[in-house]
Structure 1
Amino acid sequence: MRNHTSTATRRILIVIRRLGIGGIEQATLTLANALAGQGHDVHLLVLKGQPKQTPASNVTVHCRDFERHASRTLPGLAYLLLSRTLLKALLPGSGFVWQGRLVSRYFQDFLGNLETEHGKFDQILIRGQGAFEMLWKVDDPRCWRVVEAVTGRFHHRLLCHWLTRTLYSGKQVICVSQGVANELSTYLGGCGVSLQRQEVIHNAVPIDHVRQLSKANVMPEILSPYLVHVARLVPVKQQSLLLEAYHQARQAGLDMPLVMIGGGSERTQLEAQAKQLGIDHQVHFLGQQENPYPWMAQATALVLSSRCEGLGLVLIEALALSTACVATDAPGGIREVLIEEQQRLIADQTPESLAAKMLEAVNDPVKVQPAWAERFDEVNICQRFLDLIAPARVTSDTAMEMP
C-alpha cells in the first residue's frame, strides 16, 4: 500500500546521542536512509562517540561532542565541574539540566553554522531520551522529540515534577506507538506537565531490504525446525523468563532447538541458566550477528520475552519474512504490531503462558499475512513525518521538484 508522497525536497536534521547497534539506532538509520532515498537532504548528528553503523552515502553525518568541546574552554570546564559536583549532589537527578543548558547553546551555534552552509532545515528530529536530555533547552517550532519508550521517569519525590517539566513541558512529541503515547500521557498527567503537541508515528522497516538480506548464506547453519530469539541479552528483554518457558515447553513435548541471537551483559548468566535447566545442548547462543535475517526466515517462529517494547521492530521484521511471532504481552507497541490472528500467540509474562504459546505456534501455526508488515513500509512512515512540516516552513531553497 502506498500513500501520496510529497513533491518538494525537504531538508531534515536527525539528532541521536550515539549511533550504536540498538533498536533506536536502527530505526534512526532506516528513517534517514529512506528519506534520503526519496531525494530529501538528510543530515544525521551524533552527539557522542563515533558511529558504529554507516548510513547511506547520501546521508550527511556530523559527529559533535558539544560537552567535550565545552570542556576545552576554561569557563566551560568550570561550569561542567560545578554541575557534576555541587549542583548534581544538591539536586539528585538534575545533572541533565545543567549539562543541557550548555550543550543546547553549543547546538544552536552549530545549527546556525550548518544552515549558513546548507540552507534552512524544515524539520529537526531529536530521537531518544539521551538526546532529549542533552538538548532539552532547544526551543524551535521545527523540532520534534521522538519518544521510543517512556524512560524519563524521575523518582526523587520533591524534584520529580520539576525535572519532568524541564524535559517535556511545551514540547512537540512523536511516540513510536500508541502504547508509548498512552504511557507517556499518564506519566506526564501525574506530574502536571502538558505537551504542545503529540503524534503517533510507528518506526519504519526496510521490508524489501530485510527480505533480500534473509537470502544470504550464514554460519553456523542450523537445520529447521527451530525457534529463534533476536534481541540484546539485557534484563529488559527477560531471556531468563524465555529459557524457563522453553524448558517447560520441552517438558510438555516441544522437540526443536532454540536459537538465541544477540550479545549483551546477561550472556554468561543465561548460558549458566541453560546448563542448570539441562537445556544447554538445545539452546544455541550465536552472539551478535550483523545479519540475523536468514535464521529468522527459516525459523518456525520468533519468540520475544520483553518486559516492555516501544514498538517491537524485530516482530515486524519477522512478519516481513513470513515468520510467525510469539511475544509476551508487554507495555508499548506489541499489540499494534501483532494484530488479527497473530494476537492469539501473545502470552502473559509468566513461564507457563509463554511455554503454552510456543507449543501453540508449533502445533497450530499462524499463517502470516503480508499486510501485517507492509503497514510499516518506509514510504508510508516517511510521509507521516513529512506531513508534520508546516507549509510555511518550506524554504525557498528547498522547495524544488524531486527528480
Structure 2
Amino acid sequence: MKIAVVVNSLKIGGMERVAVNLASAYQNNGHEVDLIYLKNRRVELRPDNPAIPVSLIDVKKGVLQTGIGILWLILCRFSNLLMRKTYSLFFAYAEARIFAKKLAQMEKEAGKPFDLIIFRGHGTFEHVWPLQDSRFVFVCESVQAQEHYGFLSRWAFSHLYGKRNMVCISQGVLDNFQQMMQRYQFLPAKTALISNPIEFDRIESYPVGSRETLHSKPFILGLGRLNPVKNFPLLIQAYHRLIQQHEIAQDLVIVGDGKERERLEKMVDELQLRDRVFFKGAQNPPYAWFHHADLFVLSSMSEGLGMVIIEALACGTTVVATNCPGGVTDIMQGELGQYLAKMTPEALAEKMWFALNAKQNDAYNDCVARSLAQFDGKQIVNTFIDEFADIHSN
C-alpha cells in the first residue's frame, strides 16, 4: 500500500512523535509511506529511516500566493472577531484547494495515488475539512472541548466529522467523541478505536549514557509541553509538599518548553525551590531522561492517550499519573492502577512517595508488559489496514 501520514508540523510534541512513529511503522511493515506537514516551521522530528520522504505542503503560503488569498485571509480574520475560533474553519476553504492540488502533484510525480491518507489531530484536519475524499482518515488525538466553536459548534463539528472515517486513539477519546455525536447529531462514515504506535526497538537501542551527564543528583522527572493542559503547577505543588513531609534526595527535573515556562519559574521562586527544581528545556528524544529518572510523573488535566507514560514504562521507569480524562487508564491498568492519583497536590504527593518506596514484583512487571503490547507498531498498522480495507480496495 501507499500511505500518506499528514500532521500540522514536525516540532517536538507527542502528536508529532506519533506521526513519525506511524510513518516508520508502515515503512517497517513493507508499505510505501510519505510524511507530510502543513506549517512551515523548523523540523525538529523526522523518521530515522531516510527512505521515508518528508514533504511540506505549505497551505497558508499557497493561499497567499494566489493574490486573492490575501483578501480571503483578511476576511477570515475579521470573521474571527465576530465568531470566535472560526478563522481556521473559513480559511480552510482556500487551504483545502491548495492541499488537493499539491497532493495531486505528488501522486503524479510518484506515478500512483495514495491508498490511505491519515491526518493526525484536530488542528491538522481543520486545514482540509472542505475536501471529501474516501481515502481520508481523521485521527482524534485528544479530548475535544464540547463548545469549542461557540454557537457554531453544531455546524462546525457536523462538517468536520460528519461522513468521515474517524479514528480515536483511546477509550476516553472515543467516549468523548460519541458524546459529541449525540449532542450535535452528526454521523461519521466509520469510527474505529486504534491506539498509537511506539518505536520499542528504538527505545531499547538508544544510548542512554550516565545519569550524571543529565543531572548531578537523582531526580523525579516531569516531561511535556509547558502549557496549561499539562498542569505543571500541580506537579510543582505536589513536589513542594513531598519535600516538606519527607526528606527525599531527588530533585525535580522538568523537560520541555512552552509559553508557561516563565510562570512556572516564578512559582518555583515563590516556593523557594530554586535549588531543587530545574528546567532543562525540550530534549529529543527523551529516552535517556526516562531511563535515569527515579520516577516519572504526569500531572495533566487530560491526555488523549499519554504517549510519555508508554515511553517511560518502556524505559523501565515507574510512573505516577493523574487519573485525568482521556486515555491514561487505557495504559495504567491492573497493578499500574495503584499509581493513579486524584488531581490535588496532596493526592499526587502521596502517590509519588508511595512510588518512590514501592518494590516492583513479577505481577507489576507482567502488567507493564501487557500494557505495552497494545502499542506495538505492526499490530497498529495491521489494524488500520483491516479497518479501512474498503477504502484501499476501491
The CA RMSD over aligned residues, in Å, is 2.1
* Pairing 1:74-223 to 2, within 5 Å after superposition: 74-85=67-78, 87-118=79-110, 119-151=112-144, 153-155=146-148, 157-217=150-210, 220-222=213-215
State the Cα distance separating 1:209 from its structure 2 match: 0.8
Match of 1:320 in 2: 314
State the Cα distance separating 1:102 from its structure 2 match: 1.3
- The percent of aligned pairs where both chains have the same amino acid is 32
- What secondary structure, in the 3-state scheme, does the structure 1 residue paired with 2:253 have? strand
Which amino acid is 1:387 matched to? D
- What secondary structure, in the 3-state scheme, does the structure 2 residue paired with 1:83 have? helix
Structure 1 stretch 350-359 or stretch 108-117: which is displaced more? 108-117
Question: Judging changes above 3 Å, is the alpha-carbon distance between structure 1 residues 330 and 214 closer, same or farther for their aligned structure 2 residues?
Answer: farther
* Pairing 1:226-237 to 2, within 5 Å after superposition: 226-237=219-230
- What secondary structure, in the 3-state scheme, does the structure 1 residue paired with 2:236 have? helix
State the Cα distance separating 1:191 from its structure 2 match: 1.6
- What secondary structure, in the 3-state scheme, does the structure 1 residue paired with 2:163 have? coil
After superposition, the C-alpha distances for 1:154-204 in whole angstroms (9 at most, x for unaligned) are 456532211221211111111111111101111232122222211111111
Q: How far apart in 2 are the matches of 1:304 and 1:254?
A: 22
Structure 1 stretch 72-81 or stretch 334-343: which is displaced more? 72-81
Question: Judging changes above 3 Å, is the alpha-carbon distance between structure 1 residues 78 and 210 closer, same or farther for their aligned structure 2 residues?
Answer: same
**How many residue pairs were aligned?**
385
Question: Judging changes above 3 Å, is the alpha-carbon distance between structure 1 residues 347 and 113 closer, same or farther for their aligned structure 2 residues?
Answer: same
State the Cα distance separating 1:139 from its structure 2 match: 1.1
Question: Judging changes above 3 Å, is the alpha-carbon distance between structure 1 residues 93 and 268 closer, same or farther for their aligned structure 2 residues?
Answer: closer
Gaps of 5+ in 2: none
- What secondary structure, in the 3-state scheme, does the structure 1 residue paired with 2:151 have? coil
- Contact 1:129 1:152 (C-alpha < 8 Å) held by counterparts: no
For residue 335 of structure 1, the aligned residue among 298, 308, 329 is 329
Match of 1:6 in 2: none
* Pairing 1:203-352 to 2, within 5 Å after superposition: 203-217=196-210, 220-222=213-215, 225-255=218-248, 256-352=250-346
After superposition, the C-alpha distances for 1:116-170 in whole angstroms (9 at most, x for unaligned) are 2220211010111221111001211111001101336445653221122121111
Which amino acid is 2:256 matched to? G
- Contact 2:116 2:391 (C-alpha < 8 Å) held by counterparts: no
Gaps of 5+ in 1: 1-9, 396-403
- What secondary structure, in the 3-state scheme, does the structure 2 residue paired with 1:33 have? helix
- Whether 1:48 and 2:39 are equivalent positions in the alignment is yes
State the Cα distance separating 1:90 from its structure 2 match: 4.7
Which amino acid is 1:379 matched to? K
Question: Judging changes above 3 Å, is the alpha-carbon distance between structure 1 residues 265 and 34 closer, same or farther for their aligned structure 2 residues?
Answer: same
Question: Judging changes above 3 Å, is the alpha-carbon distance between structure 1 residues 157 and 77 closer, same or farther for their aligned structure 2 residues?
Answer: closer
Question: Judging changes above 3 Å, is the alpha-carbon distance between structure 1 residues 270 and 77 closer, same or farther for their aligned structure 2 residues?
Answer: closer
Question: Judging changes above 3 Å, is the alpha-carbon distance between structure 1 residues 173 and 391 closer, same or farther for their aligned structure 2 residues?
Answer: closer
Which amino acid is 2:287 matched to? Y
Q: How far apart in 2 are the matches of 1:268 and 1:79?
A: 36
Which amino acid is 2:324 matched to? A
State the Cα distance separating 1:265 from its structure 2 match: 1.9
After superposition, the C-alpha distances for 1:271-310 in whole angstroms (9 at most, x for unaligned) are 2222322332222222222232223112222111001111
- Contact 1:224 1:299 (C-alpha < 8 Å) held by counterparts: no
Q: How far apart in 1 are the matches of 2:341 and 2:315?
A: 22
Greater relative CO, 1 or 2 (CA 8 Å, sep 6+): 1
State the Cα distance separating 1:254 from its structure 2 match: 4.6
For residue 38 of structure 1, the aligned residue among 29, 47, 56 is 29
- What secondary structure, in the 3-state scheme, does the structure 2 residue paired with 1:76 have? helix
Structure 1 stretch 97-106 or stretch 152-161: which is displaced more? 152-161
Q: When the two structures are superposed, what TM-score results if normalisation uses the length of structure 1?
A: 0.89
Q: How far apart in 1 are the matches of 2:212 and 2:163?
A: 50
Q: How far apart in 1 are the matches of 2:85 and 2:282?
A: 33
Question: Judging changes above 3 Å, is the alpha-carbon distance between structure 1 residues 104 and 221 closer, same or farther for their aligned structure 2 residues?
Answer: closer
Q: How far apart in 2 are the matches of 1:97 and 1:266?
A: 27
- What secondary structure, in the 3-state scheme, does the structure 2 residue paired with 1:198 have? strand
State the Cα distance separating 1:16 from its structure 2 match: 1.2
Structure with greater proportional helix content:
2
Q: How far apart in 2 are the matches of 1:69 and 1:94?
A: 20
- What secondary structure, in the 3-state scheme, does the structure 1 residue paired with 2:126 have? helix
Q: How far apart in 2 are the matches of 1:381 and 1:216?
A: 31
Question: Judging changes above 3 Å, is the alpha-carbon distance between structure 1 residues 147 and 270 closer, same or farther for their aligned structure 2 residues?
Answer: same
State the Cα distance separating 1:326 from its structure 2 match: 0.2
Query: After the TM superposition, which parts of structure 1 deviate over 6 Å for at least 4 consecutive aligned residues?
Result: none
- What secondary structure, in the 3-state scheme, does the structure 1 residue paired with 2:50 have? coil
Match of 1:62 in 2: 55
- What secondary structure, in the 3-state scheme, does the structure 2 residue paired with 1:327 have? strand
For residue 353 of structure 1, the aligned residue among 347, 357, 361 is 347
Q: How far apart in 2 are the matches of 1:218 and 1:311?
A: 28
- Contact 1:241 1:351 (C-alpha < 8 Å) held by counterparts: yes
Question: Judging changes above 3 Å, is the alpha-carbon distance between structure 1 residues 74 and 266 closer, same or farther for their aligned structure 2 residues?
Answer: closer
